Amino acid sequence: MAEEMVAEPLLPSDPEVVGRYRLDARLGVGGAGRVYLARSAAGECVALRVINRDLLARADARWRLAAEVRALYRVTGPRAARLDNADLHGDPPWLAAEYVPGRTLGEHVLREGPLDAPLTAALGIMLADALGELHDAGSLHRDLKPRNVILGPDGPKTIDAGLAVLTEPFGPAYRAPEQVAGQADTTAADVYALGATLVYAASGHILYPDRAASSLLKAIVDPYTPPNLSGVPEELVRLLAAMIAADPAARPSLEELRGRLVRLAGGQEALDDLARELIEWAHGGPEAYQPGVDELEIEPAADDVDEAGADEADMDEVDVPGPDVEEAGSDEPAPFDPETTRPIGPPLDRPGRLDGPAVPGAAAAGRGSRRGGQP
């Protein structure tokens, strides 16, 4: 049976309310700040991220985040955790996203072992769908990895899309060579990250295991240092190797990738059974459900477990918010709509001619999900 996410109790320094959400527990902390388990007046659970003030020191930081939020709010579909609300005028700003209960893919593989070939293929199809949802909205994930995939009661979902626009991801193990080299993110980089994630799911190790961070970065950008695909089922090796090709143009598009994964999974008719098996594998049975806030175990969390050789400081979280707001639960959070609610973050215009685009690779993102994900 998969363990539900273990939350930590709030500290006296934590606020009780942020925006129109009441905070119930801490879920974790990472490069972007602290994440809290929170709920609306209607009792809906969200993962509320309060952005670390230090990340906003650059003149263009809020603008970049605002552009990312505008794109993320257009994301629809079942595989990418939805953005519920945001306030980028806050001090500091915060994002409220769908809360997905369950283990991360990294935690579960570490405890239960790798997936077989059909389950890996089914997982790949669902995660490719998540990337398609993001790309169709004009966004990119930028930091797909096992820790950012939750094996939820309705199947796997990606979390933390777009947050890497503010900060360099801690774990470089899933970064494409062009990202390591400092080039703009594109849909092809997301395909690489998906390939690296599926290698971990199928083998239990990262592409370049047992390397220090500096050595890992050199290996990723060196086309003559082959990744370690040992343990990957033979029928998956060719496709996963194509997904992690050093040349972005050589990687398959999401459409091509999905078609090949469907064949490897045994055909479209097999997918429903595999999806149910994947949920049972993660949750111990098809009756898995999403617990309410009061059912969550809230206790001091154990130290994060590293994914087999991947020295990643985890995901997404955030620092403590600022001022108290109106009483918690006074009314239901208004849907986030930049046209009818508060503006989503000063400034929305480009702050300076030396600053880069708000969503690096966004034009490619819109095209890539349809034309092959090429840069």
Domain of residue 137 covers 17-357
User: Residue 104 has what pLDDT?
Assistant: 94
Average of per-residue pLDDT across 215-221: 93
Residue that wins the pLDDT comparison between 358 and 43: 43
User: Residue 303 has what pLDDT?
Assistant: 38
User: Residue 169 has what pLDDT?
Assistant: 58
- Please give the radius of gyration of the chain, using alpha carbons only, rounded to the nearest integer: 20
Q: Could you tell me if residue 138 is inside a domain?
A: yes
User: Residue 168 has what pLDDT?
Assistant: 63
Q: Could you tell me if residue 6 is inside a domain?
A: no
Give me the helix-helix angle, 268-283 and 117-136, nearest 10°.
Answer: 100
Q: Give Cα separations from 121 to 19, 131, 201, 345, 353 (angstroms).
A: 40, 15, 10, 39, 44
| Number of other CB atoms surrounding residue 182 within 10 Å | 6
Please state the pTM of the whole predicted model: 0.77
Q: Which of 3-17, 230-244, 248-262 has the lowest mean pLDDT?
A: 3-17
* 55-104 residue pLDDT tens: 777 767 777 778 788 888 888 889 999 988 888 777 778 889 999 999 99
User: Residue 22 has what pLDDT?
Assistant: 93
Q: Could you tell me if residue 372 is inside a domain?
A: no
Confidence grade of residue 327 (pLDDT, cut at 50, 70, 90)? very low
* 32-46 residue pLDDT tens: 789 999 998 888 899
Is 143 tagged catalytic? yes
Average of per-residue pLDDT across 239-254: 97
Q: Could you tell me if residue 124 is inside a domain?
A: yes
CA nearest neighbour of 254 among 79, 144, 130: 130
Q: Could you tell me if residue 242 is inside a domain?
A: yes
Q: Which of 223-232, 289-298, 323-332 has the lowest mean pLDDT?
A: 323-332
Average of per-residue pLDDT across 310-323: 34
* 147-193 residue pLDDT tens: 999 999 999 999 988 877 776 655 689 999 999 998 988 999 999 99
Q: Give Cα separations from 55 to 21, 175, 185 (angstroms).
A: 23, 21, 19
CA 161 to chain centroid: 5
User: Residue 5 has what pLDDT?
Assistant: 52
Q: Which residue is catalytic, options 60, 129, 143, 314?
A: 143
Domain count, the chain: 1
Q: Could you tell me if residue 2 is inside a domain?
A: no
Q: What is the mean pLDDT of the chain?
A: 77
Q: Give me the amino acid identity at 191.
A: V
- Residue 307: pLDDT over 70: no
User: Residue 326 has what pLDDT?
Assistant: 34
Q: What is the CATH number of the domain that holds 204?
A: 1.10.510.10
User: Residue 122 has what pLDDT?
Assistant: 97
Residue written as token pair 């609306």: 40
Q: Could you tell me if residue 375 is inside a domain?
A: no
Q: Is 332 helix (H, G, I), strand (E, B) or coil?
A: coil
- Residue 144: pLDDT over 60: yes
- Residue 223: pLDDT over 80: yes
Highest mean predicted confidence (pLDDT) among 49-53, 132-136, 300-304: 132-136
Q: Could you tell me if residue 236 is inside a domain?
A: yes
- Between CA 330 and CA 31 the distance in angstroms is 32
